[in-house]
Amino acid sequence: MHIGQDYLINLYMEAVESFLRDALTQAGDRGSSRLHEMLAFHMGWHSKSVKETRGKRIRPLLTLLTCSTAGGDWKRALPAAAAVEMVHNFSLIHDDIQDHSPLRRGRPTVWKKWGIAQAINAGDAMFTLAHIQTLRLEKTVSPIAAIWATEVLQNACLHLTQGQYMDLEFEKRDDVTIEDYWAMIEGKTAALISASVELGAITASCDNHTRKAYREFGRLFGLAYQVQDDILGIWGDTEMTGKSSQSDLLSKKKTLPILFCLSKKGEFAYRWNGGRFSIEQLPGLLELLEREGGKEWALARSVELVDEAIKALDAISPVNEAGQVLRNLTLNLAHRRV
């Protein structure tokens, strides 16, 4: 991307970060400063934090870019952008408890630092604050935009919990199909990313038809994003992702490349179904996974989804620099490294 586009991204990112910081201070009201501390720590704002440990903030960026390319004033969309990032982070705080993850972005997770009980509650506080933000659109955009945005966000949250229910259930099942996988990531990933884009369209006061088109673009973006995440979870560069490479393989997470090879019922499936494996067995499994086409097939799905997303976006004819950034972000999904 050229310099103007980088400038735009930085401008939006800084505005989001500053809005988020302000909005989250409310958690510390009424003598609950330590509750605020938990949320701030999770967001990567503790004293020693560096920008890289804060997460990508891709969802709020999508909201602001969409608002801008759809002809709206991105500054008015800031409450919506903050809301989607907060929902994402609420789900991360609860996810980390559910997955027993001790680390996120190189730092201890909230439950590891403050215990499970306080971490559940911290997630609940973050969730509440998210919804308080969309209501603020009443002042920055209009009362009806506030209602629509809150409605879209709530429905995405319900879909998110349905996807999470499936994901948790997958861990216990031996018969997860590729079809089950698509249904799961529709909820777990695509619902909130789709809502992030739709909220941008709502804050730009788009008509129903355009709003629906953006929603579909966001959905395809979200699906591509998750497939890419699955690929990075196995073949990603540790330094870039911040996660240990092949960790998804060790934890036996049923991601897309795995499910593809399991469906082939070959040597990989045989070894996978044999129980837990040690670190020493990983190279052999990785080789099988590639040889039996898991990586290639998942990459092809990712490219396909990116193509569909680009088609959906081009059909809306996005304008200006923000539209260009949105297009480039989508294209980059097919070869994102972090």
Among 43, 166, 256, 313, binds a copy of itself (CB under 8 A): 166
> Does the footprint of a copy of itself cover residue 127 (CB under 8 A)?
yes
Closer residue to a copy of itself, CB minimum distance, 99 or 308 = 99
The β-bridge partners of 107 are 104
Site for a copy of itself in 168-207 (CB under 8 A): 168-169, 183, 186-187
Structure tokens at 311: 């088609």
Site for a copy of itself in 8-47 (CB under 8 A): 26-27, 29-32, 34-35
Alpha helices in the chain (DSSP H): 3-24, 33-43, 58-69, 78-98, 110-114, 116-135, 137-140, 143-170, 178-185, 191-203, 208-235, 238-241, 247-250, 256-264, 267-272, 282-291, 294-315, 320-333
Minimum CB separation of residue 244 from a copy of itself in Å reads 22
Minimum CB separation of residue 256 from a copy of itself in Å reads 19
Among 7, 14, 22, 98, binds a copy of itself (CB under 8 A): 98
Phi, psi of 317 (to 5 degrees): 50, 70
Q: How many other CB atoms are there within 10 angstroms of residue 50's CB atom?
A: 9
Among 132, 250, 269, 303, binds a copy of itself (CB under 8 A): 132
In eight-state DSSP terms, residue 104 is E
Among 16, 110, 146, 193, binds a copy of itself (CB under 8 A): 146
Q: 215 and 197 in contact (C-beta within 8 Å)? A: yes
Residue numbers at the binding site for a copy of itself (CB under 8 A): 26-27, 29-32, 34-35, 94, 97-99, 116-118, 120-125, 127-129, 131-132, 135, 138, 143-144, 146-147, 150-151, 154-155, 157-159, 161-162, 164-166, 168-169, 183, 186-187
